[in-house]
């Protein structure tokens, strides 16, 4: 399939949908924005797409908790359809608020019978919104979104981005399984260290193990807190005039990988 179709799911408060559509189009896909209400009315529309992306922003104003309301809509009204979407070998990506949505909906990690999730994204250690650029390093190639990528430099913008697990055992299981696919900092992770090795501001939220991105057991459902769609063009880099000329920003590779997956 030369041009996979991408559904960029938006809701009240989403504010990165246009940038995400642009990123996928630059990568060679056919991308379309769609309001969650339209999908709820006719979930069968999902069958016409190969990639689903939940972009960044503040879905439903982040009332209750970041991403919680949209996550509940997906979990209680669209979960079976999204599971079928995933079972067909398709890709699901969540960026920032979208990562929060995927994690809290149970699409990234299984929810136990009592409704509890083994990991979540909570308030940054400093208790405030962080808007800055950070260095990132990949950890393995379990997720096709990061195939062939070693390091990136991307912006973050969030108040609830600190990744924590229910206990150390869960963190160890995720690390051992290769699901902690993206970390803050410039050094590759060693072993299954729970404590952050990267200090603020390069780890802007205090995430356990410096985790910036996570994938499911298949690698095809992935969430990350940094915004790759905000560094597609070289001129989006804060120091672009002082760097050697380059063809594209680091974030474009994430979207190109998603498109190449279906080539």
Residues with catalytic roles: 96, 227, 229
Smallest CA-to-CA distance from 210 within 133, 111, 138, 131 is with 138
Q: How many CB atoms lie within 10 A of CB 183?
A: 24
Residue 64: left (phi > 0), alpha (psi -120 to 50), or beta?
A: left
Q: Token match 């990690």: residue?
A: 109
- Look at the alpha carbons of 151, 25, 36, 112 in this order and tell me if their dihedral is positive or negative: negative
Q: What share of the chain is helix, strand, coil (3-state, %, to 5)?
A: 35, 25, 45
Contact assessment for residue 91 and residue 51, using Cβ atoms and an 8 Å cutoff: yes
Smallest CA-to-CA distance from 234 within 226, 242, 222, 224 is with 242
Cα(26)–Cα(40) distance, integer angstroms: 28
Q: Which residues contact 182 (CB under 8 A, 6 or more apart)?
A: 136, 137, 138, 139, 146, 211, 212, 213, 214, 224, 226
Identify the three-state secondary structure at position 100: helix
Contact assessment for residue 73 and residue 36, using Cβ atoms and an 8 Å cutoff: yes
């Amino acid at each position: 399939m030369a041009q996979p179709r991408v559904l960029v799911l938006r809701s009240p408060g989403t504010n990165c949908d246009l940038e995400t559509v642009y990123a996928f189009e630059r990568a060679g896909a056919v991308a379309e924005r769609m309001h969650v209400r339209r999908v709820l009315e006719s979930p069968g529309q999902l069958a016409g797409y190969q990639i689903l992306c939940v972009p960044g922003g503040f879905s439903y104003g982040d009332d209750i908790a970041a991403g919680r309301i949209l996550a509940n809509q997906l979990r209680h009204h669209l979960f079976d359809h999204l599971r079928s979407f995933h079972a067909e070998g398709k890709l699901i990506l969540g960026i920032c608020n979208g990562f929060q949505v995927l994690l809290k909906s149970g699409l990234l990690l299984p929810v136990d019978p009592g409704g509890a999730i083994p990991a979540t994204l909570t308030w940054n250690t400093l208790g405030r919104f962080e808007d800055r650029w950070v260095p990132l390093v990949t950890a393995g190639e379990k997720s096709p979104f990061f195939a062939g990528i070693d390091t990136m430099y991307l912006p973050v913008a969030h108040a609830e981005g600190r990744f924590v697990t229910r206990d150390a055992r869960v963190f160890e299981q995720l690390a051992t399984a290769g699901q902690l696919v993206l970390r803050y900092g410039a050094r590759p992770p060693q072993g299954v260290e729970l404590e952050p090795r990267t200090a603020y501001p390069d780890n802007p939220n205090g995430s356990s193990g410096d985790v910036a991105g996570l994938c499911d057991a298949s690698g095809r459902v992935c969430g990350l807190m940094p915004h790759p769609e905000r560094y597609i063009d070289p001129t989006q880099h804060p120091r672009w005039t002082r760097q050697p000329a380059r063809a594209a920003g680091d974030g474009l590779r994430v979207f190109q990988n998603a498109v190449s997956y279906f080539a």
